[in-house]
Amino acid sequence: MNILVIGGGGREHAVVKALKKSKGVEKIYALPGNGGIAADAECFPVKATDLDGIADFTKSHRVDFAVVTPDDPLVLGCVDKLEALGIPCFGPRANAAIIEGSKVFSKDLMKKYGIPTAASETFDNADEAIAYLKTGSFPAVIKADGLALGKGVVIAQNFEEAEAAVREIMCDKVFGASGNKILVEEFLTGPEVSVLSFTDGKTVAPMISSMDHKRALDHDEGLNTGGMGTVAPNPYFTEEIARECMDKIFLPTVHAMNAEGRTFKGCLYFGLMLTPKGPKVIEYNCRFGDPETQVVLPLLEGDLLEIMQAVRAGTLTKDMVKFKKGAACCVVLASEGYPKKYESGFEITLPQTREDEYIYAAGAKKEGEKLLSAGGRVLGAVKTAESLQEAVNGAYALAEKIHFKNAYMRKDIGKRALAALK
Ligand code: AMP
Ligand code: GLY
């Protein structure tokens, strides 16, 4: 079979590498892919949001199955468009991808179906939101309704910060139409857990849990980023909590989407906070997480293509989705300065990898035979091992062998998870 993977980050590289191991895969195309993915798939310069370009590509190349990985093409209806052309896809249709595409939609869904989440109010008028915040308590959480490149959440410590955030989002429109509405949400506390799950709208098969490290600097300081590293499993996500989440969050969400006529098929990502009052949903994503996928898929024992086809066909069973016993760690190598200004275009030298080591390319491009840095997050160094400690040590040992000018990494990925194990 010829498989098309849409997207071009570290997550897509992990998807491509896992699909390469699946039975029956002949060729993998990636649109646009990147310079590192090019070692594992044929890449073509078509943007993930260029739905017409993607459709044209499928007319000139035989594509038997497409995996739509990033949020924006899913929300724009890439799956609807390709399936109309007769190409079976992995990923939700637009009417289900809205679970990530609109935070107002997902909050209303949770309220209507009693799914635990932070209390919140919705506003479509900046003055009303500001008047409400004046009487509220802090910190308060302000969220733009639509997609905002992962930057649409502000934790305001006081009224002044809150007012500035509301004005930027709703009046200055820093995220465009995504800021036409906002949520003002109760501030929750507790460890965060990411749970990616496969679902065909009937069965929910959670993948191994993981922990993201979103801040740029050690000790969770500095600006929010797309993610500086991950570990799996997440030690806070015990079997007891997993059962509670299945009963109170995972199944109710899938059933709620069915009841709304928006059956979700694909990877449903639950961003959870384990609060003193129990697990609550912080966010839903309609796709694999990045960089969670980079630690989850190397531990998958099942056949990824078989699972994805079963999700599409509505024949998913839990025993297809099995994970190895051990643990994994991903350390992201970024360009110094990210997520603010940084330089790139520097040559990358990569070491040989062993079977339990993976290097996933995110912001990397090919120039002749050379691989050059070409983005904020450049690569992810991943190690799988029997224990989390070995995985963390191994990921750092691998990361130290990757070289490019101005490479930056956090030094404490996995530290909190290791402390929680003790
Ligand atoms: P999101 O983009 O929705 O993942 O939010 C980014 C980050 O903001 C989350 O990973 C949390 O750390 C934090 N966050 C979001 N909502 C809340 C909340 N209600 N209370 C506390 N922190 C939150
Ligand atoms: N790592 C968080 C996300 O993919 O949204």
Cα gap 299→17, rounded to integer Å: 12
Q: pLDDT tier at 322 (50, 70, 90 boundaries)?
A: very high
Taking the CA of residue 120 as reference, the ligand 1 atom at the shortest distance is 19
227 lines ligand 2 (CB under 6 A): yes
**pLDDT at site 296:** 98
The ligand that comes nearest to the alpha carbon of residue 210 is 2
272 alpha carbon – ligand 1 mean position (Å): 9
Residue 272 reports pLDDT greater than 90: yes
114 alpha carbon – ligand 2 mean position (Å): 24
Taking the CA of residue 151 as reference, the ligand 1 atom at the shortest distance is 2
The CATH number of 2-95, from 3.30.1360.30, 3.40.50.20, 3.40.50.300, 3.40.640.10, is: 3.40.50.20
CATH topology agreement for domains 2-95 and 119-186: no
34-72 pLDDT, tens digit each: 999 999 999 999 999 999 999 999 999 999 999 999 999
Partners of residue 262 on adjacent β-strands:
none
**Sequence-separated (6 or more) residues with CB below 8 Å from residue 337:** 343, 406, 408
Residue 403 reports pLDDT greater than 90: yes
Q: Quick one: average pLDDT of 170-174?
A: 95
Residue 129 CB: number of other CB atoms within 10 A?
A: 25
**For the chain, what is the mean pLDDT?**
97
Residue 207 reports pLDDT greater than 90: yes
Q: Are 106 and 84 in contact (CB under 8 A)?
A: no
Pocket mutation for ligand 1, best pick of 107, 153, 188 (most atoms within 8 Å of C-beta):
153
175-188 pLDDT, tens digit each: 999 999 999 999 99
Pocket mutation for ligand 2, best pick of 143, 273, 292 (most atoms within 8 Å of C-beta):
292
Taking the CA of residue 291 as reference, the ligand 2 atom at the shortest distance is 1
Q: Are 368 and 415 in contact (CB under 8 A)?
A: no
Residue 228 reports pLDDT greater than 90: yes
Residue 111 CB: number of other CB atoms within 10 A?
A: 12
Q: Quick one: average pLDDT of 393-403?
A: 98
258 alpha carbon – ligand 1 mean position (Å): 26
Predicted TM-score (pTM) of the model is 0.97
264 alpha carbon – ligand 1 mean position (Å): 23
**pLDDT at site 171:** 96
246 alpha carbon – ligand 2 mean position (Å): 20
**pLDDT at site 271:** 98
The ligand that comes nearest to the alpha carbon of residue 294 is 2
212 lines ligand 2 (CB under 6 A): yes
**pLDDT at site 90:** 98
Binding-site residues, ligand 1, Cβ < 6 A: 118, 141, 150, 153, 155, 185-188, 192, 214, 271, 282-283
Cα gap 231→239, rounded to integer Å: 17
Please state which CATH class domain 119-186 belongs to: alpha beta
The ligand that comes nearest to the alpha carbon of residue 289 is 2
Residue 15 reports pLDDT greater than 90: yes
Domain ranges within the chain, ordered by starting residue: 2-95, 119-186
Amino acid identity at 226: G
User: For 225-376, where are the E strands, in sequence order?
Assistant: 229-232, 266-275, 278-285, 327-335, 357-361, 364-367, 370-373
**pLDDT at site 316:** 98
Residue 150 reports pLDDT greater than 90: no
103-124 pLDDT, tens digit each: 999 999 999 999 999 999 999 9
Residue located nearest, by CA, to atom 5 of ligand 2: 289
71 lines ligand 2 (CB under 6 A): no
61 alpha carbon – ligand 2 mean position (Å): 31
229 lines ligand 2 (CB under 6 A): no
Cα gap 292→315, rounded to integer Å: 25
282 alpha carbon – ligand 2 mean position (Å): 12
282 alpha carbon – ligand 1 mean position (Å): 6
139 alpha carbon – ligand 1 mean position (Å): 12
Residue located nearest, by CA, to atom 4 of ligand 2: 289
238-260 pLDDT, tens digit each: 999 999 999 999 999 999 999 99
271 alpha carbon – ligand 1 mean position (Å): 9
The ligand that comes nearest to the alpha carbon of residue 143 is 1
Residue 149 reports pLDDT greater than 90: no
Judge residue 119's burial from the number of C-beta atoms within 10 Å of its C-beta, 0-12 exposed, 13-18 middle, 19 or more buried.
exposed
70 lines ligand 2 (CB under 6 A): no
